[in-house]
């Protein structure tokens, strides 16, 4: 999923339109300006688009990649990773597949989320990161 984290610029007049569209209440309007709360912001970029005064810039872009989630009888949340470009995402998918192949008990049948859950998400990610950054 593409992400765009906002920052307020000098065009902001505190009209509050951005806070109206933010679904996670990550914007405070104080006086004649607005403040994004980065602890809550999910980078959806809606506030940037909704501003009538071009009062919001993109502070940081990139992608959020979700790995190992699944629905069904047993729901697994999986994990989210922030990456900056397409090459990094391709590299991540390649290494996730390598680690999956190493541990999956029934290759092509055991779900990725189930493998991560069984061996431990921390251990799985550690191996993925090791491969990602040792082969570049």
By C-beta, is 26 or 115 nearer to ligand SF4? 26
Size of the site for ligand SF4 (CB under 6 A): 28
Of 39, 38, 44, nearest to 64 by C-alpha is 44
Contact call for residue 14 and ligand SF4 (CB under 6 A):
yes
- 3-state secondary structure (DSSP) of residue 34: strand
Among 55, 92, 95, 115, binds ligand SF4 (CB under 6 A): 55
Of 58, 72, 63, 56, nearest to 12 by C-alpha is 56
Contact call for residue 91 and ligand SF4 (CB under 6 A):
no
38 and 4 in contact (C-beta within 8 Å)? no
* Interface residues toward ligand SF4, by CB under 6 A: 6, 8, 12-18, 21-22, 24, 26-27, 29, 34, 36, 41-47, 51, 53, 55-56
């Amino acid at each position: 999923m593409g992400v765009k984290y906002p920052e307020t610029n000098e065009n902001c007049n505190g009209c509050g339109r951005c806070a109206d569209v933010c679904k996670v209440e990550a914007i405070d309007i104080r006086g004649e300006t607005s403040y994004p709360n980065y602890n809550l912001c999910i980078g959806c970029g809606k506030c940037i688009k909704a501003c009538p005064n071009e009062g919001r810039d993109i502070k940081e872009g990139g992608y959020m990649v979700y790995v190992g989630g699944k629905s069904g009888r047993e729901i697994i949340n999986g994990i989210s990773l922030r990456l900056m470009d397409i090459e990094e995402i391709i590299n991540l998918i390649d290494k996730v597949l390598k680690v999956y192949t190493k541990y999956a008990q029934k290759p092509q049948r055991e779900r990725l989320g189930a493998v991560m859950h069984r061996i431990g998400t921390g251990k799985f990610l550690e191996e993925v990161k090791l491969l990602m950054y040792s082969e570049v």
